[in-house]
Structure 1
Amino acid sequence: MKNRMKKRKWMIATLALCALAGASSVQAAQSQLEAQAVKFNVFSNGQAVSMDKEPVVIDGSTYVPLRAIGEALGKQVEWNEWTQSIRLKDQPKVAAVHEWKNPPELTGSIKEGGFSGLLHMPSDPEDVFYTMADRGPNGEFGKDKLRTFPDDTYVPRMYKIKAANGTIEVLETIKLHLPDGRKDVYTGTSDVTGMPNLQEGDEVPYDGTGTKKLGYDPDGLDLEGIAYSPSDDTFWLSDEYRPSILQVKRDGTILGRYVPQGAKDKLLAAGAQTDIYDILPAAYNNRIANRGFEGVTISPDGRYLYTSIQSPMAVPDQKTGEKSRNLRILKMDLSSKTVVGEYLYIAEDASMFRNVKQKDIVISDLSALSQDTVLVDERDKNAGDEAQLKRIYKADFSKATNLLGTADSEQVEALSIEQLKAKGIAPVSKELVVDVAKLGYPHEKLEGLAVVNEHTIAVVNDNDFGVDGYDEQGQLQVNQNPTQMYVITVNEELK
């Protein structure tokens, strides 16, 4: 494009431009101004600064993109759409990368992996964590993308791990099972599986060849998050299928499954053996398939549990949910086992990124800092150089609107930011803590998140057990994508 004068309306807050020279007034920002694109070479410490937009001259002053300059100076730059503000912080650093180098085989060439959540207990050494895997190896077969389960007897499990010296060591494997005397209808034993629960609302399961339909397991679990309750020494896990949250003993015994109202009778009719409590709002029955509860966390004092839906729900329909940016986070009082809050979290706008669809911006995990403050893992589904959104935000619930039981809760997915403001609905506030994509993180799934100490967090990827689809001959493909933990230090205290 030739350098020539063009009339444009320049909004300083939206464009996030930084004046480098001159003293023109920003009060003219919203008026029609003459702007001239220019080609300047900008250097920082002898290195050329890469910019996605050319500098411009407006009213005799030169402006360059603030993000490019800030990052060149070692700053992390955040634009907050809701508050119309910009924050600059010192860039976080990767302190260590640890890898599960020799995972055991599950079936054929498929190995263990699939870390989908992460937990660090303050009483444990800083290199010891708990994590868990999801529903086991699965893929999509053929043009119809049939959901396959190459290992249909896979038992969902938790791991106690040590991450040190570049290696992830499994200290203990804890498989989930029903209480004594109960038998899962799929396995015929106390072990549960990762198979879908019901014909209604779940994917149809096929074997690893994509040619044979398999059965359903009403006690089956697709685990995605892990938290710990210090008051009774139990774990709480989030599940995508119903969606549900589960209370589990340290030995893997399932004590209870908490589901949306209306789901209990269907599960029991299908033969579920788990103790089921239908206390969650009925709207969560409208989760999009494979997009149920993803993150779960408990406040450090053990009082409150938070759990997040992975992406906006099909309210009133799936088309609306896939276009929406509005995700829900529930709050439970653990002493009474009752839901006491439902809050709105606004995901980033997909139009601000390249080759990203709104339905593919999701929440992957949570980690509580206090009763009202939670770290949120938000990501796109791209990997490597294509990844743009792998971020950890600090979300403050203290001034957010509690939507639980309100009429607005019945329509929140369909509301725009302008409509939310007009209704007086305040989402949880967001403050960027770490832009992990800027730190060279190579994986698609920024899946597990844990706070190690006041200046350190850890994240893990879900490598999907290495399953990489099917070739033209219908053979399952397995890649070498590893299971890794990134340990990241931040300058500002996490609180």
Structure 2
Amino acid sequence: MKIHFQKKSLLIATITALSLIGTQGAGATQNVTEAPVVAEIHEWKNPPVLAEGIKEGGFSGLVHLPNDPPSIFYTLADRGPNGQYGKDELRTFPDQNYTPRLYKIKVENGNIHVLETIKLHLPQGKIDVFTKTAYISGLPNLAGPDEVPYDATGTKKISYDPDGLDLEGIAYNPVDDTFWLSDEYRPSIIQVKRDGTILGRYVPKGSKEALVAAGAKMEIFDTLPAVYSKRIANRGFEGVTISPDGKFLYTSIQSPMALPDKKTGEASRNLRILKMDLATKKIVGEYMYIAENAKDFVKVKQKDVVISDLAALSQDVLLIDERDKNAGTNAQIKRIYKADFSKATNLLGTPTSEHDFEKLTVAQVKEKGIVPVSKELLVDVTKLNYPHEKLEGLAIVDKNTIAIVNDNDFGVEGYDEKGKIKINSNPTQMYVIKVGKDLK
């Protein structure tokens, strides 16, 4: 695979890893002194137009299959173009007919080539209540727990779609050749065939009945802990990965949940990561991952320090993408950590999980004897001239190479004073990074 550089300065781009200041004690971060460098930058040039001058993009996850060439990846886009209209920030969907999709892509000579677009659809014989076809939409599921969907003008409400998905992560299971996707809405995790056929949606206990009553046609399994229904809107499951042997799936909540309320969640540093046994489809673990302390950075709010993606090295060790809401030179946190779950406390089904997970301080976590996931800083992407806010997709290419992609939000940048959608030129890009050490 040839090496290409966007800027001459990237030839010498290096970093000295920073220690995590705020997470001390049981979840302390270790330091890595190797020097990652950007090896390649690829861009999706001239993507197809969807609607209103909006182009395809929005890459929210990334995975590299074990037997594929190093230039081949699978990625996915989220719920489609959307914006926030007016002072009430109404959630708008300029392309109501958008279908959530996977992409098979090839990167070479600075370009991202789409080899295949795989639109998600229901099994044969089932029809989505909104689209009136087998294809699903990216619209919210239910009135009440979800945002109200509006058209592009922000003046007309759109119907809900109980089978709609807001996709954020993609993983591959080599055992049965299926993909698993993470969804922010319920939140949920979804198993799909290579052709995009949805095999099942796994939701928090107590969620299935309302979806079925609203007309959902997917096979729904309400087997996730009920507490996950307390996710903050638009902050559900973000990352998902599967161990190389296909035995375990991990999925991460993007932000701390509204437990006992939204204010507590937005102030918390305690993120949840679930573990599923793929042979039984049962949840077997829940772990605490302590995010960076926003107070240690400039112009960073705690609610904006999130997990964006996961990539498994083994059954117990993952790479975790942690980021803030800033972009370019203003970015403070765009970090890839190597996280070890082997000694972390399994909190599944405990009072801590069900009642006080989010409200515990780092000191209280230690007092309770809870061991969070350990973190070792692998790459500080802010030191690599990375321009994007949403570092959202993370994949392992080989023993010392990773790849990341950004979600450009389809170029949608809100509305102007006349109520027209503003479109920017922020591209969809992949950065291939040599990490300077063996990952495995």
TM-score (norm 1): 0.85
2:19 to 68, 78, 95: 78
The C-alpha deviation readout for 1:21-54, integer Å capped at 9, x for no partner, is: xxxxxxxxxxxxxxxxxxxxxxxxxxxxxxxxxx
1:378-393 correspondence runs (5 A): 378-393=322-337
What amino acid does structure 1 have at the position aligned with 2:370?
Answer: I
Aligned residues between the structures: 425
Q: Distance in 2 between matches of 1:72 and 1:278?
A: 47
| Post-superposition CA distance 1:69-92 (Å, at most 9, x none) | xx9995323236324676251221
Partner of 2:211: 267
**Deviation of residue 491 (structure 1)?**
1.4
Residue 319 (structure 1) aligned with residue 260 (structure 2): no
Letter in 1 for 2:298: R
CA contact (8 A) 2:14 2:35 kept: no
Alpha carbons 2:185, 2:236 under 8 Å: kept: yes
2:381 & 2:87 partners in 1: Cα distance?
Answer: 34
| Alignment counterpart, residue 74 of structure 2, candidates 104, 127, 130 | 130
**Alignment match, 1:357:** 301
1:85 and 1:245 mapped to 2: Cα distance?
A: 29
Q: In structure 1, how many angstroms separate the alpha carbons of the residues matched to 2:261 and 2:289?
A: 19
CA contact (8 A) 2:29 2:375 kept: no
C-alpha contact (below 8 Å) 1:197/1:267 kept by paired residues: yes
TM-fit CA distance, 1:490: 1.1
**Contact 2:20 2:292 (C-alpha < 8 Å) held by counterparts:** no
1:310 CA displacement: 0.2
1:153–1:79 Cα change, 3 Å: same
Alignment partner of 1:283: what SS? Answer: helix
| Map 1:85-484 → 2, pairs under 5 A | 87-410=31-354, 411-484=356-429
User: Residue type matched to 1:125 in 2?
Assistant: P
The 1-side partners of 2:74 and 2:32 are apart by: 33
Identical-residue share of aligned pairs (%)? 69
2:388 partner SS: coil
Distance 2:167 2:286 in 1: 21
Contact 2:286 2:348 in 1 (8 A): yes
Distance 1:277 1:329 in 2: 19
Whole-angstrom CA distance in 1 between matches of 2:341 and 2:15? 30
Point out where structure 1 has 5 or more consecutive residues left out of the alignment.
Answer: 1-70
Change in 2 beyond 3 A, CA 1:150/1:75: same
Whether the 8 Å CA contact 2:290–2:372 is kept in 1: the answer is yes
Specify the code of the residue in structure 2 equivalent to 1:321: G
Structure 1 pair 244–86 and aligned structure 2 pair: CA distance change class (3 A): closer
**SS in structure 2 at match of 1:367:** strand
Whichever of the two has the greater Rg, that structure is 1
> Are 1:491 and 2:436 matched, yes or no?
yes
Deviation at 1:401, TM superposition (A): 0.2
- 1:96 aligned counterpart, secondary structure: strand
- Tell me, in whole angstroms, the C-alpha distance in 1 between the residues paired with 2:248 and 2:234: 26
Q: Match of 1:465, SS?
A: helix
Contact 2:13 2:384 in 1 (8 A): no
8 Å CA contact 2:201, 2:221 repeated in 1: yes
Per-residue CA deviations over 1:266-298 (Å, capped at 9, x if unaligned) read 100000000000000000000000000000000
* Residue identity matched to 2:424: N
Q: Calculate the aligned-residue CA RMSD, in Å.
A: 1.3
| Local SS of the residue matching 2:303 | helix
Separation (CA, whole Å) in 2 of partners of 1:87 and 1:284: 33
2:9 is aligned to none
* Aligned-partner Cα distance in 2 for 1:85–1:238: 27
C-alpha separation between the residues in 2 aligned to 1:316 and 1:456?
Answer: 40
Q: Is the 8 A contact 1:77 1:86 kept in 2?
A: no
Q: How does 1:38-77 map to 2 (within 5 A)?
A: 75-77=16-18
Distance 1:381 1:77 in 2: 19
Looking at structure 2, the residues matched to 418 and 145 of structure 1 have their Cα atoms a distance apart, in angstroms, of: 37
Verify the 8 A CA contact 1:141 1:148 in the aligned structure 2.
yes
- Partner-residue secondary structure (3-state), 1:385: helix
Amino acid at match of 2:216: A
User: How many angstroms apart in 2 are the aligned matches of 1:223 and 1:425?
Assistant: 31
The change in CA–CA distance for 1:94 and 1:286 in structure 2 (over 3 A counts) is: same
Query: How has the CA–CA distance of structure 1 residues 404 and 139 changed in structure 2, closer, same or farther, with 3 Å as cutoff?
Result: same
Distance 1:473 1:205 in 2: 20
Given the superposition, is the C-alpha separation of residues 342 and 130 from structure 1 closer, same or farther in structure 2, using an over 3 Å criterion? same
Contact 2:32 2:376 in 1 (8 A): no
Task: Name the SS of the counterpart of 1:321 in structure 2.
Answer: helix
Kindly state the Cα deviation for residue 102 of structure 1 after the two structures are TM-superposed.
1.2
Task: Give how far 1:492 is off.
Answer: 1.4
Look up the match of 2:5: none
TM superposition shift of 1:200: 1.9
Deviation readout 1:344-364 (Å, 9 max, x if unpaired): 000000001111100000000
**How many Å separate the matches in 2 of 1:403 and 1:384?**
37
Deviation readout 1:195-215 (Å, 9 max, x if unpaired):
000002100000001110111
The structure whose RCO (Cα within 8 Å, separation 6+) is larger is 2
2: CA distance, partners of 1:449 / 1:73: 19
| CA pair 219-122 structure 1, distance change in 2 beyond 3 A | same
Report how far residue 488 of structure 1 moved.
0.3
